[in-house]
Chain A
Amino acid sequence: MSDLAATMQAAVFYGPHDVRVEEVPTPDEIGPDEVLLRVERSAICGTDLHPYEGHMELEEGVILGHEFLGTVVETGEAVGQVSAGDVATCACAVSCGACYFCRRGEPGRCAGIRMFGMGMALGDLGGAQSEYVVVPYADRNLRKLPSDATDSQLDSLLLAGDIITTGYEAVKKAFRPGDVVAVVGAGPVGLCAVMSAAVLGASAVVAVDTVPERLKIAESLGATAVTPKEAEDAIADLTGWRGADVVVDAAGHPDALTAIAGYVRMGGTVSIPSVYLQDSLELPWGNFWLKGVNFTMGVTHFNNSMDEVIALIRSGRLDPGRIISHRMPLSQADEAYRLFAAREATKVILDPRS
């Protein structure tokens, strides 16, 4: 790694609404099972907004970013699945592969789960809104991408380690072909759930949000797009007053969870990929209980679903890259965060090379 510059550009967290682009030391050490990647595209995710908005504790000085792809620069001696020069993307939350939960095929519950750019509480990994990133447990968590992938496929593949796999799994794990799916929150994750529901064979998809631009995209993806006020009636109309078979909460707000009790059918499933960190919530429990609703939630099992999503992107059946609204140089990360947090941008890609 001696031929790399000693410092690199990175987006560094200093506190709520305070992201600064700085020169930081380039990683100069990798372990035997690790890979050093030169980041070529890096996204801002709704999860980055939790510390940015002050809803999640994160220590100062953390390099942000966990949704990325890039070129392998160097591999540790135990790495066998990728080599220098390969283009690869990575699960945003890496699992160890060896713990009780990983052995049971539940990598999202890995006892030592680590997430890029989320600080000490999530494994102290440098983030990928930077020029270089170190990937641990690389054979397991990286995916080598086909060398003939087009530029627009790379935009979609970039999202395979995070939002598209999250939207896809949130629907798939609760779903039968022909189901009516309601997606609450038409942000990046919600839009990914909308397109996944269509690919998986939903008979109808309803998207709920308040942001007109986001509802417009949901509509272009084939969904019936409605505001929270219209949602319960729209879902009732579509289902003969039965309710949606699957409701995905991609909003992450207690108001959404409350409203969902009116959207879901008896015995339906509420699938919650969005993050809740509150100690407790007040919910319409009697309605949920009498309806016999199933709940499924938590960190996505990226390792289990990434390959399916990558194959569907390669075949052209999934195209999440189309929701990208802004491309900006990494040097403008602070402005990029502001735009995304204000919902003036649907999805922002940062280019560390500029």
Chain B
Amino acid sequence: MGYFSSPEEVDKYIGEMFRQASDHPQVGPKMRAANVVMKVVYQDPDCEMTVRFADPMETIFGPTAAEPDITLSMPADIADRFWRGKYNLAVGLARSEVKAKGPVNKILKLVPLTKPLFPVYRDLIAQKDAEA
């Protein structure tokens, strides 16, 4: 089995990280100013999440009518590795493990904002890791 035991866990950890991102001193203001809607489709467990990078920032777990500008697709395990800082997105795109559609310039702008969130994610999963 993969790292996340259920779709709800994807929301509990990755979704929660995005919710906390809005108040992150370094990247929160940039994310709220990005004016982009990003949908991520995860596999194993299959689920989807939509993040509205706007003010207020909003993270919606599950289907929504919000039209995404950017859509990413990846196995949930790869998302976990990415947020731990252990997965190279460019290599993943070359291997088609991660797929992306939407304006490339908007994607390039969002990626650097993710790094300061790695510690937020690691804090969120610390207890789950300790129990594993």
Contacts and interface: CB of A to CB of B under 8 A. Distances in A.
Interface stretch (B47-55, B73-81, B109-117, B123-131): B109-117
Interface in A89-129: 96, 98-99, 110-114, 119-124
A59 B27 CA distance: 10
Interface in B62-86: none
A120 B115 CA distance: 8
A113 B106 contact: no
A120 B93 contact: no
B94 A121 contact: no
B89 to A, nearest CB: 7
A194 B95 CA distance: 38
B132 interface: no
B112 A124 contact: no
Q: How large is the interface on A (under 10, 10 to 19, 20 to 34, 35 or more residues)?
A: 20 to 34
Contact of B93 (A58, A98, A112): A112
Contacts of B89: 120-121, 123-124
Contacts of B56: none
A151 interface: no
Nearest to B90: A123
A147 interface: no
A98 B95 CA distance: 9
B112 A114 contact: no
Contact of A111 (B94, B106, B111): B94
A112 B112 contact: no
Given A112-B93, A112-B94, A112-B95, A57 B105 contact: no
B103 A279 contact: yes
A91 to B, nearest CB: 14
Contacts of A96: 91, 94
A278 interface: yes
A5 interface: no
A119 B109 CA distance: 11
Interface in A50-96: 56-59, 96
Interface in A150-183: none
A279 B105 contact: yes
B90 A277 contact: no
Interface of B: 30, 88-96, 103, 105-109, 111-116
Interface of A: 56-59, 96, 98-99, 110-114, 119-124, 277-279
28 contacts: A57-B108, A57-B112, A57-B113, A59-B112, A59-B115, A59-B116, A99-B94, A110-B94, A111-B94, A112-B93, A112-B95, A114-B91, A119-B111, A120-B89, A120-B115, A121-B89, A121-B108, A121-B109, A121-B111, A121-B112, A122-B108, A123-B88, A123-B91, A124-B88, A124-B89, A124-B90, A277-B108, A278-B105
